[in-house]
Structure 1
Amino acid sequence: MQQSSSSLYANVLGTGQPLIILHGFLGMSDNWKTLGMKYAEAGFEVHLLDQRNHGRSFHSSDFDYQIMAEDLHNYIHTNHIDSACILGHSMGGKTAMQFACDYFNHTTKLIVADIAPRFYPPHHHEILNGLQAIDLTQVKSRKGADEALSDYIKEPGIRQFLLKNLYRTEDKTFGFRCNLPVLANRMEEIGENIGSTDVYYGPTLFLRGDRSEYIQETDRANIKRHFPEAMIETVPNAGHWLHAENPMVFFEKSLAFLKS
């Protein structure tokens, strides 16, 4: 079932305990569809959300984690969800952390994928420059867009991920689903931290990729300060996109936590 409310677009899979999944920067709900179906088969009602300025959700010049946590609160209120498990990756992990701290009564469990509760300096310049350099008025195919992007992004997998944002408009030209101008202009917000005094006392799991530098040993004390009940586990053979690079282990570890 696909839903579109006044707040966020969602693809809802399965029935059971609500599990809300939040994608990362320049991602969308479709990135999680394969894993979402596995969680649904395991007995969860999975809500794959597009965050504001991403996917099929609305565009807005307002963009920070406090607002995105409010978006999520509006979504669960609109859809009569009392409490949910929240899983977020990267930017979505920051939204999930902020939501759990602000709306702990609506948070059953929290899973944060490869992001820590700290400030990260802006580091998406090359990606944003590459996307902005694609002349959508001249692009005739996805292959053409990929060739244009390859001048900036060498890894084919990252280009494929980014070009999921490309879609055919009603006049048959290409457009980006993400709100590229606002995201480029508000890039510093992506690295922002949750509130300095925010705490969530519920069950929490941080999953990090063993080849990623986003969660380091030096982050452990800060994670525990904001999330006293947090466990930190490592997914082997995975970088920052750990759910895509080693989905089997990511699913096993996250499901064990959700079912515990």
Structure 2
Amino acid sequence: MKLHSIILGEGTPLLILHGFLGMSDNWKTLGNKIAKEKSFQVHLVDQRNHGKSPHSDEHSYELMAKDVKAYCEEHALKDVVLMGHSMGGKTAMLAAANYPELIKKLIVVDIAPKYYKPHHQQILKGLTALEEADLASRQEADELLSEFISEKPVRLFLLKNLKRKVEGTYCLKVNLETLKEHIEEIGKGLSQKKSFEGPTLFIKGGNSNYIKEKDKEEIKKQFSLTEFKEIEGAGHWVHAEKMEEFYKLVVEFI
């Protein structure tokens, strides 16, 4: 599968993988900053069934890790710094474990390799309502989505998935049907047999409970050269909520 990406700058390749229902655009501000201020070629990648990348009937971490390998081969990338947030973090962990010859350093943002119960049901209901509606404007979409999701920042994040059709109405970029069918895959844990021995940084939001203190010991069993950093006052979208602090941690590590 040929993934869509935005490529910024020149230098050491840094691949960034977005989270569930996200896309490469979510990382553009940070990607531009790293590309301009540091010697990195930043690849903002849309994972399968997201953004402008192809849709598929299948969705799993094994497939997404293979997609990363194929992307690196397509662009002749080596000694890659691989960073992923949430779902993208799990893809990044598995890609680093499966293809360590490609990956120089790994950054995992606010996710652990453990299993997570499905917890996106309300969001998926809201997006299903959007897909089934005949939307004439983004304002109309926001009003409909607000019946399912009260938090404005979450709605703004999700509404980035809207695209205008030729006839003027809106549809979703994301492959909602496949993602709903494979929702159990999103929370799936990494096999404890999978490991990566290269330098690894786990960044968590201080207000997020995705990585708990007790998870750190298990993480170190699979990622032996791990360091942990926490950004106070940030939730799960730590890179968006505290961009300056996040940027500093990332550039210090890479």
Q: TM-score per shorter chain, which class?
A: over 0.9
Match of 2:7 among 5, 12, 26: 12
Q: Which runs of 4+ in 1 moved over 6 A?
A: none
- Alpha-carbon distance in 1 for matches of 2:27, 2:161: 14
Deviations 1:87-122 (A, max 9, x none): 000000000000000000100100000000100000
**Aligned sequence identity (%):** 47
Residue 91 of structure 1 aligns with an amino acid whose one-letter code is: M
Structure 2 residue aligned with 1:235? 231
* 3-state SS, counterpart of residue 217 of structure 1: coil
Structure 2 residue aligned with 1:39? 34
Q: Residues 144 and 18 of structure 1: is their aligned pair in 2 closer, same or farther, counting only changes over 3 Å?
A: same
List alignment gaps of at least 5 residues for structure 2.
none
Structure 2 residue aligned with 1:141? 137
- Alpha-carbon distance in 2 for matches of 1:207, 1:224: 14
- The CA deviation at 1:184 is 1.0
Residue 79 of structure 1 aligns with an amino acid whose one-letter code is: H
- The CA deviation at 1:134 is 2.0
Residue 140 of structure 1 aligns with an amino acid whose one-letter code is: A
Match of 2:209 among 207, 213, 233: 213
**Are residue 77 (structure 1) and residue 79 (structure 2) matched?**
no
**Are residue 117 (structure 1) and residue 116 (structure 2) matched?**
no
- Alpha-carbon distance in 1 for matches of 2:67, 2:211: 26
CA RMSD of aligned residues (A): 0.9
- Alpha-carbon distance in 1 for matches of 2:14, 2:188: 25
Structure 1 residue aligned with 2:98? 102
Asked if structure 1 preserves the Cα contact closer than 8 Å seen for 2:131 and 2:171, the reply is no
Structure 1 residue aligned with 2:246? 250
TM-score by length of 2: 0.98
Between stretches 75-84 and 28-37, larger displacement belongs to 75-84
Residue 235 of structure 1 aligns with an amino acid whose one-letter code is: I
The count of corresponding residues between Structure 1 and Structure 2 is 253
- The CA deviation at 1:135 is 5.1
Asked if structure 2 preserves the Cα contact closer than 8 Å seen for 1:210 and 1:236, the reply is yes
- The CA deviation at 1:61 is 1.0
Aligned pairs for 1:117-196 within 5 A: 117-134=113-130, 136-196=132-192
- The CA deviation at 1:136 is 4.9
List alignment gaps of at least 5 residues for structure 1.
1-5
- Alpha-carbon distance in 1 for matches of 2:132, 2:41: 37
* 3-state SS, counterpart of residue 211 of structure 2: coil
- Alpha-carbon distance in 1 for matches of 2:176, 2:19: 14
**Are residue 92 (structure 1) and residue 84 (structure 2) matched?**
no
* 3-state SS, counterpart of residue 131 of structure 1: helix
Structure 2 residue aligned with 1:65? 61
Residue 6 of structure 2 aligns with an amino acid whose one-letter code is: N
- Alpha-carbon distance in 2 for matches of 1:247, 1:90: 16
